Structure 1
Amino acid sequence: MESQRTFLIIGLLLVSFLLFQEWNNDYNQPQQPSAQTQQKTQSQQAGQSDVPQSDVDNSLTATAVDRKIIEVTTDVFAVKIDTLGGDIIETKLLKHAETHGSDTPYLLLGEFDGNQYFSQSGLIGLNGPDAQAERPMYDSEKLQYTLNGDTLTVPLTFVDDQGVRFTKTYTFKQGQYDVAMDYNVENTTAAPLQVQLFAQVKRTVQEKGSLIDQSYLGGAYGTDEINYEKYSFSDIEDKQLNKTTQGGYIAFLQHYFVSAWVPNQEQQNTVYMRLITPSVAQIGVKSEPITVAANSTADISATYYMGPKDTDALEAIHPNLDLAVDYGWLWFISQPLLTLLKFLYSFLGNWGLAIIAITIVVKSLLFPLTKAQYTSMAKMRALQPKMQALKERYGDDRQKFGQAMMEMYKKEKVNPMGGCFPLLLQMPIFLALFYVFLESPELRHAEFGLWLTDLSSKDPYYVLPILFGASMFLMQKLQPMTVTDPMQQKMMTWMPVIFSVFFLWFPSGLVLYWLVSNLISIAQMLIIYRGMEKKGMKVRG
Structure 2
Amino acid sequence: MYWIKNIFILFFLFILGFFVYKFNNINFFHDYFHIEKYSNINLEKSSNTFDTKNIVMVKTDTFKILIDKNTGNIVEANLLKYKKNINESDPLCLLKSKNDFLYQANIGILGLEKHNFYYDKKYNKKNLFELTENNNNLLVNMKWKSNDGISYIKTFSFERGKHFIKIKYEIINNSRKKLDISMYGNLNQTINIEKENKNYIFGMKTFRGAAYSSNKEKYSKVNFYDIKEKNYISDYSNQNKWIAMVQPYFVSAWIPDNSLKNKMFIDKINFRDVSIGYITEKFKINSYEKKDFFSKLWLGPKIKKEMLEVSDSLYFTIDYGFLWFLSQPLFELLCYLHSFLKNWGISIIAITCIIKLIMYPISKIQYYQIAKMKEIQSEINIIKEKYKDNKNILNKEIINLYRKNNINPIGSFLPLIIQMPIFLSLYYVIIESVELRHSPFILWINDLSDKDPFFILPIFMGITTFFLQQYSQDSDINEGLHKKIINIMPLFFTIFFLWFPSGLVLYYIVSNILTIIQQKIVYNKFKI
Is this a same-fold pair by TM over 0.5? yes
SS at match of 2:79: strand
> Could you say which residue in structure 1 is the equivalent of 2:213?
222
SS in 1 for 2:25: helix
| Total equivalences in the alignment | 506
1:70-469 to structure 2, matched below 5 A, reads: 70-112=56-98, 114-125=100-111, 127=112, 129-130=114-115, 135-139=116-120, 141=124, 142-148=126-132, 149-207=135-193, 209-244=200-235, 245-392=238-385, 394-395=387-388, 398-469=391-462
2:24 matches 1:16 = no
Query: Judging changes above 3 Å, is the alpha-carbon distance between structure 1 residues 473 and 155 closer, same or farther for their aligned structure 2 residues?
Result: same
* Alignment check: 8 A CA contact 2:457 2:502 kept: yes
User: Could you report, residue by residue, the CA deviation over 1:48-102 in whole angstroms, capped at 9, with x for unpaired residues?
Assistant: 242123xx42523x47xxx621111111111111111100111110000111032
For structure 1, list consecutive stretches of 5 or more residues without a partner in the other structure: 29-43, 534-538
CA–CA separation in structure 2 for the residues paired with 1:400 and 1:240 = 65
Query: Could you tell me how far 1:113 is from its partner in structure 2?
Result: 7.4
Matched residue type, 1:222: S
SS in 2 for 1:410: helix
CA shift in 2, pair 1:351/1:407, >3 Å: same
Q: RMSD in angstroms over aligned alpha carbons? A: 2.1
Q: Secondary structure at the match of 1:248?
A: strand
Counterpart-to-counterpart distance in 2, 1:48 and 1:76: 36
- Other structure's SS at 2:274 match: strand
User: How far off its partner does 1:276 sit?
Assistant: 1.2
Which residue in 2 is equivalent to 1:487? 481
* Secondary structure in structure 1 of the residue aligned to 2:427: helix
Report if the CA contact (8 A) 1:123-1:129 is conserved. Answer: no
TM-score (norm 2): 0.91
**Deviations for 1:212-268, whole angstroms, at most 9, x for unmatched residues?**
532221111122212211111111022212112324211101121100011111222
CA-to-aligned-CA distance 1:17-75 (integer Å, 9 cap, x gap): 122123236x99xxxxxxxxxxxxxxx88x4242123xx42523x47xxx621111111
Distance 1:227 1:376, change over 3 A: same
Structure 2 spans left out of the alignment, 5+ residues:
29-36
User: How many angstroms does 1:447 deviate by?
Assistant: 0.4
Cα distance in 2 between the residues matched to 1:156 and 1:334:
44
Determine the structure 2 residue equivalent to 1:50. 42
Work out the CA distance in 1 between the residues paired with 2:61 and 2:333.
28
* Alignment counterpart, residue 490 of structure 2, candidates 496, 511, 525: 496
Change (3 A) 1:409 1:181: same
CA contact (8 A) 1:170 1:180 kept: yes
Task: Indicate the SS of the match to 1:158.
Answer: strand
1:412, CA displacement in angstroms? Answer: 1.3
CA shift, 1:150, in A, is: 2.0
Instruction: Assess if the C-alpha contact under 8 Å between 2:117 and 2:143 holds in 1.
Output: no
Greater than 6 Å deviation, 4+ residue runs? none
State the 1:386 CA deviation.
3.1
Secondary structure at the residue paired with 2:308?
A: helix
Contact kept? 1:247, 1:267, Cα under 8 Å:
no
Superposition deviation, residue 380 in structure 1: 1.4
1:359-412 deviation line (CA, Å, top 9, x unaligned):
111111111112111111111122333334444555565555444433332221
Is 2:49 the partner of 1:59? Answer: yes
Whether the aligned pair in 2 keeps the contact of 1:212 and 1:505 (CA below 8 Å) is: no
Deviations 1:449-503 (A, max 9, x none): 1011111111111110111111111112323543367332221111100000011
Kindly provide the CA deviation profile for residues 307-338 of structure 1, in whole angstroms up to 9, marking residues without a partner as x: 01112222332222211111100101111111
**1:32 aligns to what?**
none
Deviation at 1:7, TM superposition (A): 1.4
CA distance in 1, matches of 2:99, 2:498: 27
- CA gap 1:334/1:435 in 2 versus in 1, 3 angstroms: same
Amino acid in structure 2 at the alignment position of 1:467: F
**Structure 1 residue 418: deviation in Å?**
1.3
Where 1:52 maps in the other structure, the secondary structure is coil
Alpha-carbon distance, 1:424 to partner: 2.0
Q: Which stretch has the larger CA shift, 387-396 or 175-184?
A: 387-396
Match of 1:37 in 2: none
In 2, distance between residues paired with 1:20 and 1:214? 13
Amino acid at match of 1:180: K
